[in-house]
Amino acid sequence: MIIRGRGICRGIGSGELLVSPAPISFLSGVDPNSGDIVEKGHPLFGQNIAGKVFVFPFGKGSTVGSYVLYALSRNGHAPAAIVNQEAEPIIATGAIIGSIPMIDRIDVPLHKLKNGTHVTVNGETGEMEYNGELQNN
């Protein structure tokens, strides 16, 4: 199935979905040396974003979050791609300087996407190839 959205950062990234129901702060929320989510109380606390297609509504927090995304990329622990409900400048800038394919405004609600489903994100066309069933919730 092809899910359509808006391209934010060019490139193609493939991997398993890691879907967060909550926004995330990359500054002090994600360890740039490992890709682990370390934000206390976050629903995905302890999970790792490296090589995953990371789906979350939007970013929150400091502008330094852009640099954390760049550091994740430089350290080899970046997500394969990012999908947001609505891209905001901190996450978009981080994706661009870290060369992480990114899309937003997809035509399927984020909560319908199933963790572990293999997808391919095309940041140029804004499309995501979704290889699985959508959740019924």
CATH entry 3.40.50.1370 includes domain 2-130: no
Rounded to the nearest 10°, the torsion over CA 66, 70, 73, 74 is: -160
The residue-averaged pLDDT of 6-24 equals 97
**105 contact partners, CB below 8 Å, separation of at least 6:** 5, 6, 85, 86, 87, 126
Q: What is the pLDDT of residue 20?
A: 97
Per residue in 60-113, pLDDT (tens digit) is 988 899 999 999 999 999 999 999 999 999 999 999 999 999 999 999 999 999
Q: Which of 14, 34, 62, 99 is catalytic?
A: 62
Tell me what pLDDT residue 57 has: 97
Domain ranges of the chain: 2-130
Residue 20 bears catalytic tag: no
Are 15 and 117 contacting, i.e. CB atoms less than 8 angstroms apart? no
Digit-coded pLDDT (tens) for 19-39: 999 999 999 999 999 999 999
